């Protein structure tokens, strides 16, 4: 009975987050911070950043992947399944309803204004997320940021993205390979006696 109660709690919390998350996985970060890190202590900010990193390279929707990871951490495989269903169900329901209604109202000017307002709010939430991530990374990884190789990887990635309009997948893959080549060996040698 206790397990079912915990699974139901996971489902309801992720369903609540699924109802109020509009604009993609990055908008979910402040909500996770408030609901799961500060309010309930189910995870830490560092773990959330790790989940985001893994979710970005894992096939699928970032927000769904993060829900699965946190649910799995909380209650194993059943928790992962329940969290995923809880987060996805409101979105699927809303998309189905909106698609039925939008055909009739899409041409109305007020709807265009509503969507423009939503885009601005989503942009602000994403900017807030980027600032929080950058702040956390700088606080936690000062030594890594001082490292010359890290700065070269960062600056190269930034230039490839902004100046040369390089495919982001290629940038992430190359940065991951560079990180493994330059820092992977250090981790292994630190762990050995």
Output the CA–CA distances (angstroms, integers) from residue 60 to 11, 57, 68, in the order listed. 20, 9, 11
Is 175 found in the same domain as 163?
yes
92 and 26 share one domain: yes
Instruction: Judge if 153 and 136 occupy the same domain.
Output: no
Top-confidence residue, 42 or 103: 42
| 135-191 residue pLDDT tens | 766 666 665 555 778 778 888 998 998 889 889 889 988 988 988 888 776 554 444
Same domain, yes or no: 68 and 150: no
Shared domain check, 41 and 125: yes
Q: In the prediction, which pLDDT does 130 show? A: 73
- Distance separating alpha carbons of residues 22 and 118, to the nearest angstrom: 8
103/21 Cα distance (integer angstroms):
23
Residue at 176 is within a domain: yes
* Domain shared by 129 and 145, yes or no: no
The structural domain count of the chain equals 2
Identify whether residues 19 and 65 lie together within a single domain: yes
Same domain, 156 and 82: no
Range of the domain at 70: 1-108+121-140
CA–CA dist 133, 154 (Å, integer): 15
Residues 108-144: pLDDT tens digits? 788 788 878 888 887 787 777 777 777 766 666 665 5
């Amino acid at each position: 009975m206790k397990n079912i109660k915990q699974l139901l709690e996971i489902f309801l919390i992720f369903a609540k987050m699924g109802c109020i998350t509009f604009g993609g996985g990055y908008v979910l970060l402040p909500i996770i911070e408030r609901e799961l890190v500060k309010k309930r202590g189910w995870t830490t900010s560092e773990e959330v950043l790790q989940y985001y990193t893994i979710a970005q390279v894992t096939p699928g929707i970032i927000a769904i992947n993060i829900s699965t990871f946190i649910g799995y951490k909380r209650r194993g495989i059943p928790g992962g399944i329940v969290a995923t269903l809880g987060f996805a169900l409101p979105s699927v329901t809303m998309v189905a309803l909106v698609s039925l209604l939008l055909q009739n109202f899409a041409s109305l000017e007020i709807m265009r204004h509503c969507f423009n307002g939503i885009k601005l709010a989503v942009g602000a939430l994403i900017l807030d997320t980027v600032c929080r991530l950058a702040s956390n990374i700088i606080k936690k990884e000062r030594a890594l940021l001082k490292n010359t190789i890290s700065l070269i990887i960062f600056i190269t990635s930034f230039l490839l993205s902004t100046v040369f309009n390089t495919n982001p997948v290629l940038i992430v893959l190359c940065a991951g390979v560079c990180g493994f080549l330059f820092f992977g060996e250090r981790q292994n040698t630190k762990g050995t006696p």
